[in-house]
Structure formats: structure tokens, C-alpha cells
């Protein structure tokens, strides 16, 4: 559905502006469900820990690894219980706060810093660019595991430090993509035209170039969102990620993998949550990019002279 809408826009760039946003959202059922899902997730992430702290941390060895899809122990145990008999539902909801916080901040930090550096590197394609890109090379060839161990040894495995580790390691993606895009955009006629009209560097970058790079970067960012959640999970798997008493979905998957043969739900449900969030975000962002973004529309109509 999304895709159909997406493509009808792409192929015939006539958007019916008279149609309201809500109607457009309602018309695309995938996007609509994604939107609902994300709203609920954000709501739970904000208020969940406050409401469900107790059942998420209370030990109850009698219910250890209680199987899912049974209401015998109350609705909190509908998705079963973990190895310490804690409600899976409560833990999934409490964990959503850290998970979304880590992923969103890490993606935002690397998007902003990486994007900015990449745009500058592409625009001033000289010595400055070289320095920035070699910097990206260093980060890329630096094993993220070492950064993780260094940060977690010297500081603590806290949320903020995890964000630091994840955002540093993901910088090069944005830097390289932004630079590559800018290199291409610079060559377009309208930039040359703006230059001859005497536009300043900052005006060229912020008004003409950045708006064209941002859509690509946001596409990457939404894909990266899942990547960051999984990277965080992998760190937990290797024993250098976030540690209890803090919880994230990634940590739950990593801890639950020990029980894959006896209690699959321990790692399955948090894995599913990661997947659903990533899906919802990507579907919604695809829709947003086309339906809401005037820059993108303008781009689709105007830049027909150039391939991107």
C-alpha cells in the first residue's frame, strides 16, 4: 500500500494538495498502522517504566519461564515470564524506554554530526574534505568492540555511554553518503546559477544543498535505527553492552538466547519488538518522505535534468 502511494507520486508527480494529511494517512493502511504502533510505543516508553517497574523487577521463581498465551497468572503474564519469573509484558514495556532512547539518540547524534561533516567535506572538496574523510576512515577501521570496551571499562555501562559508543561507530555512514551526494549535487546547473548570482557559502549549503541531502540521510537514518538496536544487542551478546538492572530489548534477546531450546519466548518477543519498531519506522518514513515533504516533491519535479 505504501509502496503504491509512493510510486504513484514518483511516477506522476502530481500530489493532490486538497487531500488532508489524516486522510492520506488513513488511505495508506500500512503507514496508518505503523503510525499507531509508534504512538503507542512512545506512550509506553514514556509512562511504562513508571507504571510497571514493580512487576518488571520483582523476583518470582515460581513462575520461572512460564509459557506465553495463558491468562492463568493474570494478563501481565500473557506473554510468559522470564528466567526469574518476571512478567515479559512488563519487561518489554519497561525496556522500550531505554531501547528507544538509546536508538533514537545514537541515530540523531550520528545523523547530525556525520551529516554536517559529510556535507562540508563534499562542498569544500579540498584539503578539508581530505581531513574529514581520513577521519571517517579511522573510525571505520577502528573496531567498535574496542571503543565499547574502552568506554565501558573507563566509564560505566550506562545508557549515555552506550549512545556515545554507538553514535561514534556509525558516523562514517552519514559522512560518506552525505559527501558522495554533495559531490554530485554541486555539479548541477542550479547551484552554478546560484553561485553566479552571488550566493554565499552558508546560503548555498543551508538553502540549496542540505535540503537535497537530507532525504537520503533520513532514509539511511531510519534503516540505521534497526541497525543500532541490533548493534546494542550484539554488544550484550558479547558481554560488553548494557547490563542489568538496566534493560533493553537487545539485552533481553541476548540473555534469552541461552534458553532458545527450552523457553523460546524469552528472546523471541523482544526480537519481534525490534523488528516491528524498525518496520513501522521505515514504513512511516517512506510515507512521510513522499506525502509530507515539499522538498522531496520539489526535487522530484525540478531535478529531472539530473540523475542522482
Q: What residues between 164 and 223 interact with other proteins by CB under 8 A?
A: 172-173, 176-177, 180-181, 183-184, 187, 216, 219-220, 223
Taking the complex as a whole, the smallest distance from the CB of residue 134 to other proteins amounts, in Å, to 4
Distance CA 77, CA 79 (A): 5
Binding mask 230-269 for other proteins (x = CB under 8 A): x--xx--xxxx--xxx----x--xxx-xxxxxx----x--
- Is residue 81 a contact residue for other proteins (CB under 8 A)? no
- From the list 42-50, 90-98, 132-140, 196-204, the region that binds other proteins by CB under 8 A is 132-140
Task: Give the DSSP letter of residue 81.
Answer: B
Q: 10 Å Cβ neighbour count for 209?
A: 22
For 95, the enclosing helix (H) or strand (E) is helix 88-123
Bond prior to 245 in cis (omega within 30° of 0): yes
Q: How far apart are the first and last CA of the chain?
A: 25
- Is residue 4 a contact residue for other proteins (CB under 8 A)? yes
Residue 146 falls in which region: left (phi positive, over 0), alpha (psi -120 to 50) or beta:
alpha
- Is residue 126 a contact residue for other proteins (CB under 8 A)? no
Distance CA 305, CA 308 (A): 10
Helix axes 159-185, 88-123, angle to 10 degrees: 40
Q: Which of 20, 50, 72, 141: binder of other proteins (CB under 8 A)? A: 141
Taking the complex as a whole, the smallest distance from the CB of residue 277 to other proteins amounts, in Å, to 8
Positions in 29-68 near other proteins (CB under 8 A):
57-59, 61, 64
Q: Calculate the CA 217 to chain-centre distance.
A: 11
Taking the complex as a whole, the smallest distance from the CB of residue 171 to other proteins amounts, in Å, to 11
- Is residue 109 a contact residue for other proteins (CB under 8 A)? no
Answer for the pair 50, 247: CB distance below 8 angstroms, yes or no: no
Q: Which of 41, 45, 275 is nearest to 159 (CA)?
A: 45
Binding residue count for other proteins, defined by CB under 8 A: 91
Name the residue nearer to other proteins (CB basis): 16 or 202.
Answer: 16
- Is residue 27 a contact residue for other proteins (CB under 8 A)? no
- From the list 70-78, 102-110, 136-144, 202-210, the region that binds other proteins by CB under 8 A is 136-144
Answer for the pair 303, 209: CB distance below 8 angstroms, yes or no: no
- From the list 20-28, 44-52, 88-96, 151-159, the region that binds other proteins by CB under 8 A is 151-159
Name the residue nearer to other proteins (CB basis): 47 or 298.
Answer: 298
Q: 10 Å Cβ neighbour count for 262?
A: 9
Name the residue nearer to other proteins (CB basis): 37 or 135.
Answer: 135
Q: Which of 275, 288, 292, 293: binder of other proteins (CB under 8 A)? A: 275
Distance CA 94, CA 56 (A): 7
Amino acid at each position: 500500500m505504501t509502496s503504491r502511494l509512493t510510486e504513484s507520486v514518483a511516477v506522476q508527480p502530481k500530489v493532490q494538495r486538497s487531500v488532508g494529511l489524516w486522510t492520506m494517512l488513513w488511505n495508506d493502511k500500512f503507514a496508518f498502522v505503523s503510525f499507531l504502533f509508534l504512538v503507542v510505543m512512545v506512550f509506553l516508553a514514556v509512562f511504562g517504566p513508571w507504571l510497571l517497574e514493580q512487576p518488571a523487577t520483582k523476583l518470582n521463581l515460581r513462575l520461572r519461564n512460564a509459557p506465553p498465551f495463558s491468562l492463568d497468572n493474570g494478563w501481565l503474564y500473557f506473554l510468559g515470564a522470564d528466567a526469574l519469573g518476571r512478567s515479559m509484558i512488563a519487561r518489554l514495556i519497561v525496556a522500550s524506554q531505554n531501547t528507544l532512547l538509546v536508538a533514537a539518540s545514537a541515530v540523531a547524534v550520528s545523523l547530525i554530526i556525520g551529516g554536517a561533516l559529510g556535507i562540508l567535506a563534499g562542498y569544500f572538496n579540498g584539503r578539508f574534505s581530505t581531513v574529514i574523510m581520513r577521519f571517517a576512515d579511522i573510525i571505520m577501521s577502528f573496531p567498535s568492540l574496542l571503543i565499547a570496551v574502552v568506554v565501558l571499562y573507563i566509564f560505566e555501562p550506562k545508557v549515555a555511554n552506550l549512545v556515545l559508543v554507538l553514535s561514534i561507530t556509525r558516523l562514517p555512514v552519514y559522512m560518506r553518503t552525505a559527501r558522495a551526494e554533495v559531490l554530485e549535487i554541486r555539479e548541477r546547473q542550479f547551484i552554478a546559477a546560484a553561485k553566479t548570482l552571488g550566493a554565499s557559502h552558508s546560503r548555498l549549503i543551508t538553502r540549496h544543498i542540505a535540503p537535497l541531502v537530507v532525504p537520503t540521510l533520513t532514509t539511511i537514518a531510519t534503516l540505521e535505527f534497526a541497525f543500532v538496536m541490533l548493534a546494542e544487542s550484539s554488544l550484550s551478546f558479547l558481554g560488553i553492552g548494557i547490563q542489568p538492572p538496566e534493560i533493553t530489548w537487545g539485552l533481553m534477546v541476548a540473555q534469552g538466547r541461552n534458553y532458545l531450546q527450552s523457553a523460546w519466548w524469552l528472546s523471541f518477543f523482544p526480537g519481534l519488538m525490534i523488528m516491528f519498531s524498525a518496520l513501522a519506522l521505515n514504513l512511516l518514513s517512506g510515507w512521510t518522505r513522499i506525502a509530507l515533504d515539499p522538498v522531496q516533491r520539489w526535487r522530484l519535479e525540478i531535478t529531472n535534468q539530473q540523475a542522482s
